């Protein structure tokens, strides 16, 4: 019996130690489950608010193109008479979350995507804080705070599927930090994270990532002062390497998108700015109204609710860094920089200067820098836990009474901050969903209809295109589009012969054309750069903006195919970059092994 007891005691102690070790992470995950619970209350309801309907539609296009037609979503025939899809910055057909759209019903896939995004935010922030040297408890609190912060909730709760790119920021910053510390492989891993951001969210998350990496790289380089030139060089080269390789890996998205944006510049009227004292409202007050004074945008664009307890922890963390943990001063410096960017169009603020650069001139809502500031705010909260919280829950009894009291107070404050933020920000999910599934019958043959811009999300699953549509980017829309045609492919000269659809898919239309004299075949979709014709002569700019091709007398099998050269070039760049990244990782691993053998020998 004594042997059994002595054998079981270590096992019990090990189990207890394991439970206490992972208790902070378990609590953080429980808080996240509480935060997203309203989204899962009625899991089969469709999008409720306006913005979420737009992104519901965009993901519905991905689902229809991949799941039904087994094609990469290059072209979107389901709205406005047809438009580029892979090249549209608002779309995300190559996102890592896209397989969810194919495997599950759209309402479930959408919710799974949001949940996965917030889980990534939590775990990524936890990993970043650990890399900075914070304890397991402090890192878990930082991760939980970022997952339930108001900026993510405001935009994801409003339906911004693309906003999830910001959830990857902690992983991006972690790789940059580790690369600066000499772990060269993290240039590749950071570039991979940036590429994922590009494939999922090539608007604000990508554009803000460039600024964030630049600011963070400069501050990391100057961490030990201007005399530490090697560190400055490593930090800037790491930032540049991540940016360059990330853009190359994202070439399949960047090149088509660049071509599209250059041809369809968006007019942006952004005059908004935020007074410094208004930041107290955006970070500390439960602001329920949708409007925000005389501001140009609605309040969710500014909101990043931490609550006054959370703000107090941020300020204490800032003091701790400046007074006791100087090596973390880049966190404070970049946080302050992002807050200054939030001020917007105050001349000559950083945002006002940034707006004079390409790409950034087409952006708006400087207040969205609040999400980037929030990343560093969460680290500062973790610093407080790391300084005065228990080093580990299992060592609680070993602390002296005064230290134990301080640790208890800090834990209570951290819990109050997290519960307060989660309980308020979770309410932003309530208007996201709620409409019943559309009951439109599925059309056996795709066709364009007059449609309804307010119900765009209903048309991809119904196999129809809505000519009445919403899109902020100015598209090339033909005035000859019609929603009442008996067939979407026809002859401009009806008495010249016949046209019969052989097969149809978003990127490829095959027609059987039989004409007795030269004629023009028309397709009831907008002409776009990238359409080609086989078995006929493509009319370069179409006929009044419609896809068109000329055929000679006789019977022809005419194939219209959409495949822009920018897609092929982008794919080549991405493949070359992937091969180079893999070669570098192999070389770096072999180099480290040789060094280890040399040191051991």
Res 222 pLDDT > 70? yes
Predicted pLDDT of residue 20:
67
Whether cis (ω within 30° of 0) applies to the bond prior to 415 is: no
Q: Which residues contact 160 (CB under 8 A, 6 or more apart)?
A: 51, 52, 55
Residue-range domain boundaries for the chain? 11-23+40-47+86-434
Q: What whole-number percentage of the chain has pLDDT above 70?
A: 96
| Cα–Cα distance, 305 to 162 (Å, whole number) | 20
Token pair recorded at residue 34 = 């509480």
Per DSSP bridges, beta strands 519-526 and 546-551 are antiparallel
Q: Look at residue 433 and give its three-state secondary structure.
A: strand
Find where tokens 């180099």 sit: 591
pLDDT at 162: 85
Q: How confident is the model at residue 403 (pLDDT cuts 50, 70, 90)?
A: confident
Mean pLDDT within 581-596: 90
270: left (phi over 0), alpha (psi -120 to 50) or beta: beta
Contacts of 3 (CB under 8 A, 6+ apart): none
CB of 335 closer than 8 Å to CB of 382: no
150 band by pLDDT with thresholds 50, 70 and 90:
confident
CA 99 to centroid of chain Cα atoms:
15
**Token pair of 303 as six digits:** 């909101």
pLDDT of residue 6: 47
pLDDT surpassing 50 at residue 1: no
Tokens describing residue 400 = 């002296």
Has residue 125 got a pLDDT over 50? yes
Q: Return the pLDDT at 394.
A: 65
Question: Which tokens go with 282?
Answer: 């955006």
Q: Which residues pair with 538 in a beta bridge?
A: 549
Cα 126 to Cα 138: distance, rounded to the nearest angstrom: 8
User: 508-515 and 519-526 as β-strands: parallel, antiparallel, unpaired?
Assistant: unpaired
Q: How far is CA 368 from CA 344, 357, 452, 457, in A?
A: 10, 18, 30, 26
**Residue scoring higher pLDDT (195 or 22):** 195
Tell me how far apart the alpha carbons of residues 200 and 213 are, in angstroms, rounded to a whole number: 18
Phi and psi for 382 in degrees, rounded to 5? -60, -30
pLDDT at 429: 86
Structure confidence at residue 4 as a pLDDT band (50, 70, 90): very low
Confidence of residue 601 (pLDDT cuts 50, 70, 90): low
DSSP symbol at 507 = T
Maximum CA pair distance of the chain?
Answer: 102
pLDDT of residue 334: 97
Q: Which helix (H) or strand (E) holds 533?
A: strand 531-534
Cβ atoms of 407 and 399 closer than 8 Å: yes
Helix ranges (H only) for 66-225 are 98-103, 106-131, 136-147, 150-157, 169-180, 185-200, 204-221
pTM higher than 0.85:
yes
Question: Confidence band (pLDDT; 50, 70, 90) for 10?
Answer: low
What pLDDT, on the 0 to 100 scale, is given for residue 3?
A: 45
Q: In this structure, are strands 464-466 and 447-449 parallel, antiparallel, or unpaired?
A: parallel
* Whole-angstrom distance, CA of residue 260 vs CA of residue 530: 11
- For residues 191 and 242, is the Cβ–Cβ distance under 8 A? yes
- Which SS3 state, helix, strand or coil, does residue 265 take? coil
Q: What are phi and psi of 266, to 5 degrees?
A: -95, 130
502, 569, 457, 547: which is closest to 75 by C-alpha?
547
Confidence of residue 595 (pLDDT cuts 50, 70, 90): confident
- Determine which helix (DSSP H) or strand (DSSP E) holds 409, and give its type and residue range: helix 401-425
Instruction: Report how far residue 442's alpha carbon sits from residue 464's, in angstroms, rounded to the nearest whole number.
Output: 8
């Amino acid at each position: 019996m004594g042997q059994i007891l002595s054998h079981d005691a270590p096992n019990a102690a090990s189990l207890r130690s394991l439970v206490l070790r992972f208790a902070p992470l378990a609590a953080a995950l429980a808080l996240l489950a509480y935060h997203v619970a309203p989204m899962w209350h009625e899991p089969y309801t469709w999008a409720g608010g306006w913005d979420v309907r737009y992104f519901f539609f965009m993901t519905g296009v991905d689902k229809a193109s991949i799941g039904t037609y087994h094609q990469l979503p290059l072209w979107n025939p389901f709205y406005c008479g047809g438009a580029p899809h892979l090249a549209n910055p608002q779309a995300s057909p190559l996102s890592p979350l896209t397989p969810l759209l194919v495997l599950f019903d759209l309402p479930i896939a959408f919710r799974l995507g949001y949940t996965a995004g917030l889980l990534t935010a939590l775990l990524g922030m936890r990993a970043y804080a650990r890399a900075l040297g914070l304890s397991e408890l402090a890192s878990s609190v930082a991760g939980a705070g970022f997952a339930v912060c108001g900026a993510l909730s405001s935009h994801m709760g409003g339906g911004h599927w693309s906003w999830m790119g910001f959830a990857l920021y902690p992983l991006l910053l972690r790789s940059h930090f580790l690369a600066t510390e000499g772990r060269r492989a993290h240039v590749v891993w950071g570039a991979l994270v940036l590429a994922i951001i590009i494939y999922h969210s090539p608007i604000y998350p990508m554009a803000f990532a460039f600024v964030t990496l630049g600011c963070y790289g400069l501050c990391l380089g100057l961490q030990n002062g201007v005399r530490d030139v090697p560190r400055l060089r490593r930090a800037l080269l790491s930032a540049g390497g991540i940016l360059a390789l990330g853009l190359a890996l994202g070439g399949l998205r960047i090149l088509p998108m660049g071509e599209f944006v250059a041809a369809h510049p968006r007019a942006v009227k952004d005059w908004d700015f935020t007074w410094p004292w208004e930041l107290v409202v955006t970070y500390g007050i439960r602001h329920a109204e949708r409007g925000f004074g005389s501001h140009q945008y609605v309040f969710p664009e500014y909101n990043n609710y931490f609550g006054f307890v959370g703000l107090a922890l941020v300020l204490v963390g800032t003091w701790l860094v400046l007074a006791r943990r100087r090596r973390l001063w880049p966190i404070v410096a970049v946080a302050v920089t992002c807050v200054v960017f939030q001020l917007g169009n105050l001349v000559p603020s950083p945002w006002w200067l940034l707006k004079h650069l390409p790409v950034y001139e087409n952006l708006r809502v400087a207040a969205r820098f609040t999400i980037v500031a929030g990343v560093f705010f969460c680290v500062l909260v973790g610093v407080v836990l790391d300084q005065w919280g228990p080093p580990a829950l299992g060592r609680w009894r070993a602390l002296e009474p005064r230290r134990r009291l301080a640790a208890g107070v800090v834990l209570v404050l951290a819990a109050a901050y997290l519960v307060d933020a989660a309980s308020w920000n979770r309410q932003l999910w309530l208007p996201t969903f709620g409409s019943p599934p559309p009951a439109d019958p599925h059309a056996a043959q795709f066709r364009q209809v007059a449609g309804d811009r307010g119900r765009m999300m209903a048309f991809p699953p119904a196999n129809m295109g809505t000519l009445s549509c919403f899109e902020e980017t100015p598209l090339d829309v033909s005035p000859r589009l019609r929603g009442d045609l008996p067939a979407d492919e026809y002859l401009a000269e009806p008495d010249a012969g016949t046209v019969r659809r052989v097969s149809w898919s978003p990127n490829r239309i095959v027609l059987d054309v039989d004409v007795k004299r030269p004629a023009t075949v028309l397709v009831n979709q907008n002409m776009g750069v990238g359409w080609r014709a086989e078995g006929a002569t493509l009319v370069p700019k179409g006929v009044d903006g419609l896809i068109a091709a000329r055929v000679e007398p006789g019977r022809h099998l005419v194939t219209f195919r959409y495949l822009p050269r920018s897609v092929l070039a982008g794919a080549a760049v991405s493949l070359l970059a992937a091969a180079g990244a893999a070669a570098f990782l192999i070389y770096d691993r072999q180099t480290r092994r040789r060094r280890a053998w040399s040191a051991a020998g």
